């Protein structure tokens, strides 16, 4: 029999959690004061060190949505939050592993949580948070010097979806996503765009996939593109019953219209009528600095983020004809040290144009641009570089750490 002077196990658990969260908050504050960063990640790391089950404890009782994929996680997370409406706990800074997620849940006790999650951390985060819905956007090559091949990540997802029965809002146009989502309870979305470079063979049988002229795909083993429940249209989204719902989006590009359809489908899975979810999407015009306006002295520029070949292809497609372009490339830990992927980006679309090259690997970028037929202008100062580019509207597109550096010019 437990002594009346001793706390029960649940009491000890609460005490440990409280101590862990307080220690994490203190560590985060010290990190900020020392100028080491926002403190978001270190705060979560310290808390998890003291109480390894803190994430599961903070997730208990919440309705949780997990959003993952190689590209578009942060933007789609923001769109899902808008589509749901009301107060939502979310890791809006993009810190998408357990420490950053824990900090987000500690800062907001909302019963609804929308969590961006790194592709390889999906199983662990699902185990801790027990989501009702997982949104699986896409799978493409990304930082191959430190991540798995696409097919391996698909297998990891599939195993996680089968172990914890979950509704999966899934990209019907991506064979690797489809193979994984079939292990859960899929709701299919066709976002309209196709990236076939990372989907040449079937993730199940290994045979070459057939990509048809209408954008559909199939495999000899029977795996094929499912009929979509939600399909992007030029003005909005078409539901599986044929109804069409318009929406207005203040984010650029066809890729973001596809992301908006994912958000509508996810909100619908949580009980929000598609018409209402669609109306709410116009609230979003920037996402953690993406698409914001930079003040570069004598001219303004719009800031884009792109991190891998598929992401860069989407970013280049968003840039309006006649816009001056500066590209920033770093190769630090968060970016991945290997920049050979530059040769898989369709920079040939820029042939004949004068393009700015900046960042730690600006010289490597300049070589790639020259081979693509562009005319690179290299500089290590963004303000000075802006003055060397053709007049008119300007876009600055950068990979992760270069993007973070350029945010200091946000108007």
Same domain, 266 and 391: no
Report CA dihedral (263, 265, 271, 274) to the nearest 10 degrees. 90
> Rounded to whole angstroms, what are the CA distances from 317 to 6, 142, 163, 253, 403?
64, 19, 38, 7, 18
Q: Answer yes or no: is 46 within a domain.
A: no
Q: Answer yes or no: is 3 within a domain.
A: no
pLDDT of residue 372: 97
Q: Answer yes or no: is 157 within a domain.
A: yes
Q: Which residue reads 């914001």 in tokens?
A: 292
β-partners of residue 127 are none
Same domain, 237 and 103: yes
Contacts of 95 (CB under 8 A, 6+ apart): 40, 41, 44, 101, 103, 104
Q: Answer yes or no: is 44 within a domain.
A: no
Same domain, 303 and 242: no
Which domain-ending residue is among 283, 309, 326? 283
Mapping DSSP to helix (H, G, I), strand (E, B) and coil, where does residue 72 land?
A: coil
**CA–CA gap between residue 149 and residue 147 (Å, rounded):** 7
pLDDT of residue 164: 84
Which domain-ending residue is among 254, 283, 312? 283
**What stretch of H or E contains 115?**
strand 112-116
Query: Would you write out the chain's pLDDT as a tens digit for each of its 411 residues?
Result: 455 555 566 778 888 899 999 999 999 999 988 888 888 999 999 999 999 999 999 999 999 999 999 999 999 999 999 999 999 999 998 899 999 999 999 999 999 999 999 999 999 999 999 999 999 999 998 765 555 688 999 999 999 999 988 999 999 999 999 999 999 999 999 999 998 888 999 999 999 999 999 999 999 999 999 999 999 999 999 999 999 999 999 999 999 999 999 999 999 999 999 999 999 999 999 898 899 999 998 899 999 999 999 999 999 999 988 899 999 999 998 888 889 999 999 999 999 999 999 999 999 999 999 999 999 999 999 999 999 999 999 999 999 999 999 999 998
Extended beta strands in 126-220, E state:
133-136, 167-171, 185-190, 210-211, 217-218
pLDDT of residue 143: 67
User: Which of 217-223's residues contact partners 24+ apart within 8 Å by CB, and which partners?
Assistant: 217/173, 217/175, 219/175, 223/175, 223/178, 223/179
| Most distant CA pair in the chain, distance | 82
pLDDT of residue 395: 96
Alpha-helix residue ranges (DSSP H) falling in 122-245: 122-129, 150-163, 175-181
Dump the DSSP string for 297-338.
SSSEEEEEE--SHHHHHHHHHHSPTT-EEEEE---STTT-S-
pLDDT of residue 111: 97
User: Which of 402-409's residues contact partners 24+ apart within 8 Å by CB, and which partners?
Assistant: 402/328, 402/329, 402/330, 402/335, 402/358, 402/359, 402/360, 403/289, 403/303, 403/305, 403/328, 405/328, 405/330, 406/294, 406/303, 406/328, 406/382, 407/289, 407/292, 407/303, 409/294, 409/295, 409/296, 409/382
Same domain, 88 and 226: yes
Q: Which residue reads 């005319």 in tokens?
A: 375
β-partners of residue 360 are none
Dump the DSSP string for 281-299.
GGG-S-BTTBTPEEE-SSS
Q: Answer yes or no: is 41 within a domain.
A: no
Same domain, 154 and 243: yes
Same domain, 272 and 339: no
Q: Answer yes or no: is 26 within a domain.
A: no
Phi first, then psi, for residue 75 (nearest 5°) are -65, -45
Phi first, then psi, for residue 52 (nearest 5°) are -60, -20
Same domain, 246 and 347: no
Instruction: List the CATH number of the domain containing 115.
Output: 3.40.1190.10
Q: Answer yes or no: is 324 within a domain.
A: yes
Which domain-ending residue is among 240, 255, 283? 283
Nearest to 196 by CA among 346, 327, 56: 346
Take residue 221 and report the two structure tokens written for it: 């083993």
Quote the domain boundaries for residue 72: 59-283
Same domain, 227 and 335: no
Same domain, 270 and 297: no
> Rounded to whole angstroms, what are the CA distances from 127 to 93, 136, 162?
22, 17, 12
Instruction: List the CATH number of the domain containing 381.
Output: 3.90.190
β-partners of residue 334 are none
**CA–CA gap between residue 259 and residue 271 (Å, rounded):** 19
Q: Could you tell me if 356 and 385 are in contact, meaning their C-beta atoms sit under 8 angstroms apart?
A: yes
Q: Answer yes or no: is 300 within a domain.
A: yes
Q: Could you tell me if 179 and 158 are in contact, meaning their C-beta atoms sit under 8 angstroms apart?
A: yes
- The domain tally of the chain equals 2
Same domain, 196 and 217: yes
pLDDT of residue 393: 94
Mapping DSSP to helix (H, G, I), strand (E, B) and coil, where does residue 89 land?
A: strand
Same domain, 115 and 262: yes
Same domain, 157 and 104: yes
Is the pTM above the cut of 0.75? yes
């Amino acid at each position: 029999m437990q002594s009346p002077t001793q706390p029960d196990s649940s009491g000890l658990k609460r005490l440990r959690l409280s101590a862990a969260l307080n220690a994490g908050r203190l560590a985060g504050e010290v990190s900020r004061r020392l100028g080491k960063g926002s403190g978001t990640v270190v705060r979560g790391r310290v808390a998890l060190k003291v109480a390894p089950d803190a994430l599961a404890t903070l997730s208990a009782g919440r309705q949780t949505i997990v959003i993952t994929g190689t590209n578009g996680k942060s933007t789609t997370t923001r769109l899902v939050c808008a589509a749901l409406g009301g107060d939502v706990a979310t890791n809006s800074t993009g810190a998408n592993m357990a420490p950053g997620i824990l900090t987000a849940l500690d800062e907001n006790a909302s019963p609804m949580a929308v969590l961006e999650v790194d592709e390889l951390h999906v199983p662990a985060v699902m185990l801790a948070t027990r989501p009702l819905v997982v949104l699986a956007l896409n799978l493409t090559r990304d930082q191959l010097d430190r991540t798995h091949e696409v097919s391996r990540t698909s297998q990891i997802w599939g195993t996680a979806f089968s172990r914890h029965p979950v509704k999966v809002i899934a990209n019907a146009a991506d064979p690797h996503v489809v193979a994984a989502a079939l292990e859960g309870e899929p709701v299919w979305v066709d976002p309209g765009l196709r990236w076939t470079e990372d989907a040449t063979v079937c993730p199940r049988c290994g045979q070459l996939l057939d990509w048809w002229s209408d954008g559909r795909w199939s495999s000899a083993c029977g795996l094929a593109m499912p009929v979509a429940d939600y399909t992007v249209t030029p003005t909005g989204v078409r539901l599986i019953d044929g109804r069409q719902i318009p929406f207005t989006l203040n984010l650029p590009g066809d890729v973001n219209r596809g992301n908006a359809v994912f958000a509508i489908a996810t909100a619908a899975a949580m009980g929000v009528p598609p018409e209402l979810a669609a109306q709410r999407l116009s609230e979003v015009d920037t996402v953690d600095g993406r698409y914001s306006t930079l003040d570069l002295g004598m001219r303004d520029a719009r800031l884009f983020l792109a991190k891998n070949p598929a992401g860069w292809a989407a970013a280049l497609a968003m840039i309006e004809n006649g816009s001056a372009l500066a590209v920033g490339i770093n190769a630090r830990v968060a970016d991945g040290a290997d920049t050979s992927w530059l040769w898989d980006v369709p920079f040939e679309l820029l042939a004949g144009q004068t393009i700015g090259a900046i960042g730690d690997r600006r010289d490597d970028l300049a070589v790639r641009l020259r081979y693509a037929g562009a005319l690179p202008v290299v500089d290590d100062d963004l303000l000075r570089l802006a003055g060397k580019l053709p007049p008119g509207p300007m876009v600055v597109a950068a990979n992760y750490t270069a993007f973070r550096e350029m945010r200091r010019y946000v108007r």
